[in-house]
Structure 1
Amino acid sequence: KEEPLDEFLIKDWGPNQEYPPDIVCVGFQEMVDLNAVNVTVDNKSQQRSQFWVDRIRTTLNAPQYTRNDPARGYTLLTQRYLVGLLICVFVRNPHNKRVRFVQTDSVGVGVMGMLGNKGGVSIRLQFYDSTLCFICAHLAAHRENVAGRNSDFANVYQKTSFDIGEEAIREVIRSGSLSQWATGSSSVGIQDHDIVFWIGDLNYRIDESMTTEKVLDLSEKNDLDELRTLDQLNVERAAGRSFQGFEEGVLRFRPTYKYQPGTDVYEQRPDKKLRAPAWCDRVLWLAQEPAHVQQLTYARSETPNISDHKAVYTTLNITIKDVVQAKREAVYEQVMKLLDKYENQTLPMVGLDRVSLDFGQIRYEEAKTLSIQITNTGKVVAQFRFVPKLDENALSKPWMSVSPTYGMLIPGESPATLNFTVSLNNHTANLLNSGREVLDDILILRLENGRDYYITVKAQYARSCFGMSADELVMYMEPVRQIPLDPIKRAEKFDPNPTSALCVPKELWRIIDAIYERGLQEKDLFLVSGSAGEVKQIRECLDTGAPIGKFRMQSLAEALVGFLSNLSTPIVPPTLFPTLEVDSQNIQSLSRKFLEELPPIHYN
């Protein structure tokens, strides 16, 4: 049925619609069923997207709202759809002439990591002299699949790209965007905009530590404080694992999922799977200048009432740049004359206080930063940037990051600081342990119209049992910190004979023994988080052979889980994972076969 869209679109315009917005962006998810036919063939998506766009246009331009004044009417800028996703942007007519460089893109991250049952559609534009980007996304489902949602966000964020052309690039550079000058490309990504708006069914749920029944009870009572603290998106943003830098208003409305379609009742029918209510539907934003975005309203709409979700809307007051062309040209001309004066004198020159960085020992999951001071020692402006090595795309190896990657120094200006950070995650530790990586790199700092500077970076990995395999750990009686990374030195010092191997890794034995002695009666042993500092100390004890002190049991449990989950090869090999063939009739024989095929070390 065609329910009115007025409450959803118009409610926030004031009692007499005296505050119509300048831009209206609307996103849809699952506007068609996400079945195999619709995902692989553009079967109904175009028809459904046009249906919704027409309905939105009709509502926005209804006579009771425009009052027959063309200045209060709206024009569709563009739309983009992908299977069940749709995003469309309307602008109020008086602003139409100040919109330029409109582009769209879509990214599928669903089946096989590329189909459109999950993904994002996006629209970017220049509004006056500010660049805006709108993304509508539908991320991975299921309460336990937080990592899948984080991965979908990262893929949409990284793969979305707009080829806006040379003219648009020159415009943003003239407006002060050094990042576009640094990349030298006619394409821009999500991060290259002044303000980014991210909307959609992001599918983040309430953490599984709260029962479904309690989530239902609190949602029905509109008791939201405890739910907000366990909201997965809030947790992941706070931990820096997803939507880094994005902001969101406080969730003051009841969870928007899952309802009996066409009702205001959470789905609890006996013939349906009971799901915990959640704030699946969200609106976030990312601004280069955070003060330029002020949220006025963040709420849910009770209509249209045709889905198992409730719609969400927000009204934002944003600051837009409007450059006075005459003044910009005057300043631009003045700056260019100053630059020409410097450039005509001599070539650019800079001085670095050092060109070699030794980070010393770096431990597992540790980050260490060193800096280099760069000074303009010449008489002209020095524009610098880091560039990739020949036949490479990245500025540095994955374990190294540098900030800033580009800049400009005027003669006599104070030195700038270049920060270099080495950080070791589990993936890098795996590569180091297997001899496929070393902590050595060379970075190239290029001076525009000048020479290149080569900065060498080195560090030593303080080896850790975390990130190694159980099969290798059982080969050593000594603490793993004493085991050389170099395979030749390792073979000279330690007996590689498998007959002398331990039954289980000594590190695993030590930590389980510590928990067995003092922690079996501890409540919520694996449910309450330990202390990050203590977990780090426990890992150091395991790596060096030092005695395990009297740490909190929860910290020991967290260290145990971290050790097992970060093994380079899992205890249960992927080839032995349970299949759909397991049932009550054959589970005993399959279990016996599973134990027989399990490698001995993993069996122990």
Structure 2
Amino acid sequence: MVFVKAKHENAIKGVMTTEVGTGFMYKGGNKGAIASRMQIYESTFCFVACHLAAHQENVSRRNQDFSEVLRRIVFTEEKSQYSNLSALLFANESTITIPDQDLVVWLGDLNYRIDLPLEEVIRRLEAKDWVALLKHDQLNQALEKAHGAFLNFNEGKISFPPTYKCNKHEMGYDVGTESQTPRTPAWTDRILWKIHEKYDEMTSTGSTTDQGEEFRSQFLAELDSYRRHEVFGSDHRPVSAVFNVTASRLNQDKRANVFSEIHRKLLPKLNLMPHRINLEMVQLGYYPVESTVLSNDGVVPVEFEVDSAEKPEWLTVEPTQGTLPAASVMKLTVCANLTKNSELFKDREYAVKGLSSQAFPLTSKLKINVRNALPGTLEVESAFLNCSFLGSSLETMIEQFPSEEEHIPEPLLLLCKLLTRMDPSKFNAKTPREEISSIFLNMPTLGESVDILSASAVGTCLLEVMRSMDGALIVGDAAAEIQSCDVTNPAMANKTIEYLPEPNRTVARKVFATFNSTFEGDLSAWEALVSASTR
């Protein structure tokens, strides 16, 4: 039985009790042990009361009984008749055993004897020569062996007479008569203890680290007394041991700080570099792309997802979700995804009329949700270039913007005229966007500034008008034939164009003739023209 003072009652938890038999066939209950473990504050204690094999000659069996108890005692939450067997068969990381405890107190009738003749034992008893007798004590001999029973257990100094076999109702020993087997007095009733190796190592190595000092100051077990009591009624005399134990007790403030620090380190950490990106001016026919780098600087994987509810419909983000392993990076791509049906065109704030165009600032904050952590934010800044003629079908453009030439809308005719006034040159597909946007914004007055414009910029604008059209300029079999034509043989392309219906035929003639004249023999210009006209 374990008794606890009322003032410590609330500090007790994790109480578990179990038993094993080591009698007949190592199962009988006449020999064996009962063990109880518990946690007091932050230290764990285990008390083992056992009765080992009897008789002078059975020292090996006693040692084996000890090993069986140590091996088979497994503490489980729910006690049943099969709990020990189940724990042995299905042991896992949560298994609780005797060696796991901070302090183990092992007591009972261990039945170890003195390996001396009866006459010599009696003579030494009368002389109170305990030291000489203890040299032949079987338990002491086991403790001295490197791999013997009760390895690393301690026992207090014995300064009292043997506890067995005593007269039941008076002082003295019952050593038997001549007709009986002699019973040599012995210290069969013992109390031993063992502190967990983690404390022993710190003490034996003289550790002066902060951790070592902390352990030694937090958990101490010292023997105060070890004695025999003269209680009659049995052929054994009981023994008792008093320990002064200082249990570990957490500093709750430090505990909270440690848990907070651990929690902080284990939180997913998603960083964005850069936090703000600038997309080039967004318009129909041109879809700028930028990217940011997601990095996980933490020690656990990061699960993220772009919040679709806060993502504007004119932006596309890839990937929209994923898992970023610890200490790794991933590219997040942001692309303009403007269509004629985009909400931007329905907003009167962005309305334009005629050939005029206007740029409107756009800002957006993409919210990137992170599981078990605060979300991240990516700021996207851009501008929306709204041209009333972009995104229309060819027929609608002709109707809304008629020109002096039949079947050719004014925006396309104006750009073609500008190209014809320029000297032949090489096509530069990487013309600065500022120059291209400037052409769209100043469409009505472009003829006055032809000297400061580049042919590549004007050509790119022409391509983007066709690319933005609702429906390709050249479709079906004609598109396939055009795509198979070579830049060195424009006559074949012209022949195919002649089979197109109006107004596509007239527009295609104009655009192809203008491009071939300005960028004659330029493969990149030809490929860009074919791509824009045959989507």
Shorter chain as denominator, the TM-score bin is 0.3 to 0.5
State which structure, 1 or 2, has the greater radius of gyration over its C-alpha atoms: 2
TM-score, structure 2 length as denominator? 0.43
TM-score, structure 1 length as denominator? 0.38
